[in-house]
Amino acid sequence: MTPKTDTAVSATSYAGAGISVIAGLTLTEWGVIVGIVTAIVTLLINFIYQQRKDRREEKLFQLKVEQIQEDVRDGE
């Protein structure tokens, strides 16, 4: 067989194996997989938005500190 044919046969074999594994999963197993994927996606989204919130709060804090420092300088 040629290398191209070997690659095609190998890919077909792997695809068949993957399809048979997927077809063999029960509804309960699919539910577990979907639950795990949903939890991971939720974790990532929450992490991203928490990072953004932290950056906004840090900027607000720095602005308040600068305002207080200006008020103290103006009062002297």
Q: What is the pLDDT of residues 11-26, one digit of tens each?
A: 888 888 888 888 888 9
* Total structural domains within the chain: 1
pTM of the model: 0.59
DSSP strands (E only) in 1-76? none
Q: So what's the pLDDT on residue 47?
A: 97
Q: What tokens does 76 get?
A: 């002297």
Tell me the per-residue pLDDT of 42-73, one tens digit each, with 9 for 90 and over: 999 999 999 999 999 999 999 999 999 998 88
Task: Indicate the burial class of 55 (C-beta count within 10 angstroms; 0-12, 13-18, 19 or more).
Answer: exposed
Q: Which domain holds residue 55?
A: 3-75
